[in-house]
Amino acid sequence: MDKKLKLDIYKKIVLSRRLEERIAELIKAGQVGGFMHPGVGQEALQVAAIATLRSDDYMLYAHRGVAYWVARGIPIQSVLCDLSGREGGTNRGKGGVMHVVSPELGVLGESGTLGGCFPIAAGAGMSIKVKHEDKVVLCFFGDGTSNRGTFHESLNFCAVRKLPVVFLCENNGWAVSVPTEQSTSVKDIADRRHGYGVPGKTFDGNDVEQVYDAVSEAVAHARAGNGPSLLEGKTYRLWGHWIGDPDTYRTREEVEKHWRRDPLPAYELKLMEEKVLTDAARAEIDKDARAQIDRAIAFMEKQPFMKGETALEDLYA
Amino acid sequence: MDKKLKLDIYKKIVLSRRLEERIAELIKAGQVGGFMHPGVGQEALQVAAIATLRSDDYMLYAHRGVAYWVARGIPIQSVLCDLSGREGGTNRGKGGVMHVVSPELGVLGESGTLGGCFPIAAGAGMSIKVKHEDKVVLCFFGDGTSNRGTFHESLNFCAVRKLPVVFLCENNGWAVSVPTEQSTSVKDIADRRHGYGVPGKTFDGNDVEQVYDAVSEAVAHARAGNGPSLLEGKTYRLWGHWIGDPDTYRTREEVEKHWRRDPLPAYELKLMEEKVLTDAARAEIDKDARAQIDRAIAFMEKQPFMKGETALEDLYA
Amino acid sequence: MRTITYAQGIKEALEEEMRRDPTVVLYGEDVAHFGGIFRITSGLQEEFGEERVFDTPISENAFVGAAVGAAITGLRPVVELQFADFLFTTGDEIILKAGMWRYVHGGAYKVPMVVRCPSGAAGVGPEHGQCPEAFFMHSPGLRIVSPATPADAKGLLKSAIRDDNPVLYFEHKLLYATKGEIPDDPDYLVPLGKAAIRQEGDALTLVAISAMVPKAMKVAERLAKEGHNIEVIDPRSLNPFDRPAIIESVKKTGKIVVAEESYKTLGVGAEIGAMLMEEALEYLDRPLRRVAMPDVPIPTAAALEQFVLPNEEKIYQACRELLN
Amino acid sequence: MRTITYAQGIKEALEEEMRRDPTVVLYGEDVAHFGGIFRITSGLQEEFGEERVFDTPISENAFVGAAVGAAITGLRPVVELQFADFLFTTGDEIILKAGMWRYVHGGAYKVPMVVRCPSGAAGVGPEHGQCPEAFFMHSPGLRIVSPATPADAKGLLKSAIRDDNPVLYFEHKLLYATKGEIPDDPDYLVPLGKAAIRQEGDALTLVAISAMVPKAMKVAERLAKEGHNIEVIDPRSLNPFDRPAIIESVKKTGKIVVAEESYKTLGVGAEIGAMLMEEALEYLDRPLRRVAMPDVPIPTAAALEQFVLPNEEKIYQACRELLN
Ligand SMILES: Cc1ncc(C[n+]2csc(CCOP(=O)(O)OP(=O)(O)O)c2C)c(N)n1
Ligand SMILES: Cc1ncc(C[n+]2csc(CCOP(=O)(O)OP(=O)(O)O)c2C)c(N)n1
Ligand SMILES: [Mg+2]
Ligand SMILES: [Mg+2]
């Protein structure tokens, strides 16, 4: 990882974090609606993983936060318009923030039913293979989602057909109120790779370099035509499951402990130590992120709401 | 395994084999209809596994053959009536031989969609646990069926809730025309246990003692409250997928090779060597099986066909 | 008489039936410790223990299918799906297993189970906001209920739990907070298959399902002020379906509007229309009007959602058209 | 004109479209080496290679869902399910993914895919013998076709493959061996959404779907001999659904019978009845008659299956009743 890449990842983590903070304020103030699952604490995993992709690769994000889109370069103003149901979003009021999309950037969209993503990822892999392309598909999913049957069917399908799909589990320890160990029969979800004879590993999902290395390796494996991998980054959901979650199901101590492992200050510190980042640059990046967000919100607020009757459009091609 | 048990298993294998041969004749002669998937070659696995159960345990059989029912003691005349749509069957013309059932014997029935069995087995396990019983559930399934998503969901569910379910794969090398290695990402399906942290093993499914030992161990584990296991017996489907299958997809050499591993003569030989079986007893057992079948067919032929209007019964309780 | 909310009605039914019958178990995602994402089941695990009230993995096939396995071996499972839409992830388990296990095995087993399905558009888009009753009304072997009031929420759920057949119980998310009276009788049951005449009248028959019922009542009020006494029928249960109640009403009124939140094509209104054409054609003096979702998924943005959703005004207009 | 079977029609459509368009791929259980359990696809792997024609694991969720993923990234997958009933195992993939991926993402993607679904009772019981079209007709975003003749089997499948939307293609098992004429035109297409008037007449409208069409034609012949000239309409496609064709016919005949193999409640006949009640009430001089499966699963034993299945005699009786 060169300096430019590190800084780029850092900036995107900062922008994601600041954006979610603002979105939470907007939602709490009733200024936007939207069914938003915040990703605070998981941005390092999301941004560093996406940084391994080529611009023509495909990705399927999970329901957790904005960092996937920030990382891939979807304009944040479009995300805000999706959130608020205004013109200028990516899905014309249809899918809200659950279905942000960008065909140009290979962002295929999201399945609102958990586990719906796996077969879609397999299918994108299938089309890469049939067309003899050297693209890959990166498919994010949560620890809880790894218990859906589609996980099994798709892993097996991709393995036997050697499809270029990287399955990346964001293990944040919880599925809404249910701790992973209570719902999931293995400690490390990447161990499920033994059921499919595919490579993979478990790593610290809050450590940018570990993420980048592991995902790069899996992406290279896929791109070389060697088939799928199953990866798992251990991370933590620092906020509630959704904005407004009473979050009564876990102790404050547990959450506190994980705030001390927050990947944003951790990466900041690391980059400072490595002299990639200075105090001044840090302040600049933060300021710039906030300014971008201000502009995007200003843009959003000027956009008209999508017209009701457009509900009848976009169904059939 | 004592002598009585060995002989009992042997007799049931013989009866199953003779019965399928007769059913095949009846079907080919157009005397009965029925959607029959013969189990010839897999009877050792089926009969020996079921021999490990207690009379109050539950079982879910797969779609392959009659040996499950013979082993569990469902009268063969009832099976024939199910096959031919006559009164005296177990399901009153509703499910045919796909849905032979016996609540008294804990035979819960079959799911016509592959993989539908796994959640049902999990549910029976759940009820055992809630009622603090010490029963177990034995759930048969094919290698191809192990690729259904319900397999994954149910294994995980049983593992985390420690439900007394023994999942037993009959790996016969084929799913209709598709060889296992082409559809399945692991060589040994029991290896998938590593995705669920449950015990299990792969063994020779044509060897009565290996089957009996492995299943006994898993049943004891479940009965003791230690949760599910995933077992796999390697076997072979000596006949076509269904009666009438053109069977064009595999070489005669392959099939011939497996006929030389046919578990029926193999077990016969073993029991003769062990002096459990004599030539005279063998002839007697065969004769008795044929006589039972003759009687059952005679019974069946005298039974009236189910009346059409009963189609409207048995839907709601 | 007490006043309770619809959510409370559901919870009381669960508590009472679980106290009454130790074979009733309750499970689903987040139902135990957290008390369910709609907070219906809080406190139940404390009272009934971990074996009878528990959280499941995100494995709808396994846990819905497990209800069938549990039901045929002596339990009465009540399963909570987080959203009714997730029924589609369990098509095999609901339609081919729950609905048919008894039949294909010649009546050998009973399948007493309830699947609780929070339904209804509420700003949550196409995969979390459907009212999919009609899909399952087409499928043999299932019972289907869609209560509209707190009393029915309670009384129908208690009946559903006691019923020996699989019941899909649709609880509309936007009704949870609504209030209503309920008799004190601790064994208050509402039978499956009996429609409620919410208001008697002879000018027109308005059939309203689930969250459409309160809207229909407002329309009835408004029309009453305009001199039209309409009859409002809440079928409450879609299988069994109280066909005679609707037919009798139409014989009196000659006019019918059906208001529902399902998609229009082959929504519940389609069956009602066809049934009337079969059995009451000579009594019909005006065309059928169906106020339903147009045949598009439910969009997320508020303006779009409002555009497609049936509402009081749309129901009113449909009635007016027939009354003119 | 040539004479071909329905099965051949399907196969020719696959071959021609795969030759024409390299993005068409075909897969499913046993379709490649074996040529499919109904032997429709034999030889296709030899011609098009392992990448475009392949066998899948028994993983309906994965491979039907994969068709959506492949379709949005530039392929035109044709998936074979072994039995239409297995659609229920893929409810999420069909209804919420294939049907809605385009919509929820604001039209960003096209989803050109076809799922071939062998349908119909044939002595194989409730989980291998259904005609489940009506379930999916209720669901937005899907195209649904049910050809009844060899020419339509071919022409509709070719159109389905070229269509940019997900199409469920229901091929009735008992029609595979039926024969019929087909134009030589190598680009013979039948448009989705256009009903075929199989016979013109003004005494009664008989709408027949899929395997009911040949039975309806026999009934028409019989009635013609008795002096009644009935009109037989084969909708061919259920989404888009050619409503005007039926409405126009009924305006002429005033009487309608619908014959289908779906369950009666909320079968296709329900939508037809409701539609006519909305749009042609004043033309209807006799009640609707629906000849359909009673609301029970399809039993396996021949006598029971025959009892529940709609057949020529039942259709004839329904028509006679209205004509008297
Ligand atoms: C099939 C299905 N079941 C349940 C849900 C509701 N749901 C949404 S997010 C969530 C928790 C997911 O947990 P996990 O996969 O660990 O992801 P995380 O939320 O922790 O990021 C649940 C249960 C859903 N959307 N789809
Ligand atoms: C969900 C589902 N998909 C496909 C089928 C059709 N089918 C019946 S048996 C069979 C092969 C099963 O293979 P396996 O599990 O290995 O069992 P075997 O037949 O070899 O005993 C198939 C594909 C089905 N019944 N259900
Ligand atoms: Mg999680
Ligand atoms: Mg097999």
**What does the pLDDT look like over A260-297, one tens digit per residue?**
999 999 999 999 999 999 999 999 999 999 999 999 99
Interface check for C14 against chain D (CB to CB < 8 A): the answer is: no
Residue A312 lies in a domain: no
Pick from A89, A47, A86: which is nearest to A69 by CA? A47
Rounded Cα distance between C21 and B303, Å, is 42
- Could you read off the pLDDT of C149-160 as tens digits, one per residue? 999 999 999 999
Predicted pLDDT at B163? 98
ipTM of predicted assembly, 2 dp: 0.98
pLDDT score for A164: 98
Exposed / middle / buried, residue D222 (Cβ in 10 Å: 0-12, 13-18, 19+): middle
8 A C-beta contact, residue B186 and residue A197: yes
pLDDT at A35: 78
Confidence of residue B33 (pLDDT cuts 50, 70, 90): confident
Topology given in CATH for the domain delimited by D2-182: Rossmann fold (3.40.50)
Does residue B249 surpass a pLDDT of 90?
A: yes
Q: How confident is the model at residue C230 (pLDDT cuts 50, 70, 90)?
A: very high
The verdict on a CB contact (< 8 Å) between C287 and D277 is yes
Q: Select the residue of C63, C92, C164 nearest B113 (Cβ to Cβ).
A: C92
Does C278 contact D279 at a Cβ distance shorter than 8 Å?
Answer: no
Is A149 in the D-facing interface, judged by CB distances under 8 Å?
yes
Chain C interface includes A147 (CB < 8 A): yes
Average pLDDT, chain B: 97
What are the tokens at A276? Answer: 């990639």
Distance in Å, CA D57 to ligand 4 centroid = 11
Q: Which of A176, A178, A247 to mutate to test the pocket of ligand 1 (most atoms within 8 A of CB)?
A: A176
- The model's pLDDT over C126-153, given as tens digits with 9 standing for 90+, comes to 999 999 999 999 999 999 999 999 999 9
Which candidate from A98, A306, A308 shows the least CB-CB separation from C125?
A98
Contact list in A for residue C59 (CB cut-off 8 A) is: 147-149
At residue B238 the predicted structure's pLDDT band, cuts being 50, 70 and 90, is very high
- Cross-strand bridge partners of residue D263: D293
A160–B148: do the CB atoms touch at under 8 Å? no
Interchain CB contact of A198 with B (< 8 Å)? yes
Asked if residue C316 has pLDDT above 80, the reply is yes
The set of chains that have 3 or more CB pairs under 8 A with B is A, C, D
Find the ligand nearest to B171 CA. Answer: 4
Q: Is the CB of residue B93 less than 8 Å away from at least one CB of chain C?
A: yes
Which residues of A fall within a CB distance of 8 Å from D101?
109, 120
pLDDT band at B34 (very low <50, low <70, confident <90, very high): confident
D-chain residue closest to A125, CA distance = D70
Per-residue pLDDT reduced to its tens digit, D183-205: 988 889 999 999 999 999 999 99
In chain D, residues with a C-beta closer than 8 Å to the C-beta of B148 are 58-60, 89
Contact residues on chain D for A156, CB-CB shorter than 8 A: 57, 59, 62
Domain C196-323 belongs to what topology? Rossmann fold (3.40.50)
B246-277 CB burial, b ≥16 within 10 A, e <16: ebebbeeeebeebeebbbbeebbebbeeeebb
Query: What's the confidence (pLDDT) of residue A32?
Result: 86
- Percentage of residues in chain B having pLDDT higher than 70: 100
The whole domain housing A248 covers 3-300
Cβ distance B94 to D126 less than 8 Å, yes or no, reads yes
Q: Which ligand 2 atom sits closest to the C-alpha of B241?
A: 19
What is the distance between the alpha carbons of residues B127 and D86, in angstroms, rounded to a whole number? Answer: 28
pLDDT on residue A169: 98
> CA-CA distances (angstroms) from residue D159 to B241, B270, D27?
34, 62, 19
Tokens 């899907």: give the residue: D142
> Which stretch of DSSP H or E encloses residue D2?
strand D2-5
Chain D from 229 to 258: CB within 8 A of any C CB: 239, 241
Atom of ligand 2 nearest to the CA of B116: 1
Amino acid at A299: F
pLDDT band at residue A31 under the 50/70/90 scheme: confident
Q: Within a domain: residue A314?
A: no
**Is B161 domain-assigned?**
yes
First to last CA, chain B: 43
Contact A147 B159 (CB under 8 A): no
Count of structural domains, chain B:
1
Confidence of residue A241 (pLDDT cuts 50, 70, 90): very high
Q: Which runs of consecutive H residues, i.e. helices, occur in chain B? A: 3-28, 43-50, 67-72, 76-84, 117-130, 149-161, 180-183, 208-223, 252-259, 263-273, 279-302
Average pLDDT score, chain C: 98
Q: How far is the CA of B257 from the centre of ligand 2 (A)?
A: 24
* pLDDT attached to residue A34: 72
From the list C3, C259, C241, C312, the residue with the least C-alpha distance to C131 is C259
Is residue A305 a part of any domain in this protein?
no
Interface contact B206, partner A, CB < 8 A: no
The answer to whether residue B315 is domain-embedded is: no
Domain positions in chain D are 2-182, 196-323
Number of Cβ within 10 Å of residue D164's Cβ equals 16
Residues in chain D where the model's pLDDT stays below 50? none
Chain B closest-CA separation from residue C260 CA (Å): 27
Parallel, antiparallel, or unpaired for β C205-208 and C256-263? parallel
3-state secondary structure of D33: coil
Residue C304 contacts A, CB cutoff 8 Å: yes
Nearest alpha carbon, ligand 2 atom 7: B114
**Mean pLDDT score, C314-318:** 98
Domain membership flag for residue B305: no
**pLDDT tens-digit readout, A202-225:** 999 999 999 999 999 999 999 999
A65, A69, A74, A75: CA torsion to nearest 10? 30
Task: Provide the annotated active-site residues of C.
Answer: 128
C169, pLDDT greater than 80: yes
Res A185 pLDDT > 90: yes
Give the rounded percent of residues in chain C with a pLDDT score beyond 90. 98
Q: What is the CATH number of the domain that holds B138?
A: 3.40.50.970
The helix/strand/coil state of A139 is strand
Which of C38, C86, C300, C306 to mutate to probe the A interface, most A CBs <10 Å?
A: C300
Query: Are D102 and D61 within 8 A, CB to CB?
Result: no
pLDDT tens digits for range A99-122? 999 999 999 999 999 999 999 999
Best mutation site among B176, B232, B250 for ligand 2 pocket (most ligand atoms within 8 Å of CB): B176
What integer is the mean pLDDT of A187-200?
97
d(CA B293, CA B15): 8
Q: Which residues contact ligand 2 via a Cβ below 6 A? A: B 63-64, 112-115, 142-145, 172, 174-176, 237, 241; D 29, 58, 60, 82, 86, 89
Residues of B in contact with C96 (CB under 8 A): 111-113, 116
Enumerate the residues of chain D whose CB falls inside 8 A of the CB of residue B312: 294, 296, 307-308
When pLDDT is cut at 50, 70 and 90, the band that residue A33 belongs to is confident
Taking the C-alpha atoms of B200, B205, B207 and B213 in order, what is their torsion angle to the nearest 10 degrees? 20
D141 touches A: beta carbon within 8 Å: yes
Q: Convert the pLDDT of each residue in C82-136 to its tens digit.
A: 999 999 999 999 999 999 999 999 999 999 999 999 999 999 999 999 999 999 9
Sequence-distant (6+) residues with CB within 8 A of B303 are B81, B86, B87, B88
C6 min Cα distance to partner chain D (Å): 29
Answer whether B282's CB lies under 8 Å from D266's CB: no
Structure-block tokens of residue D187: 């680009």
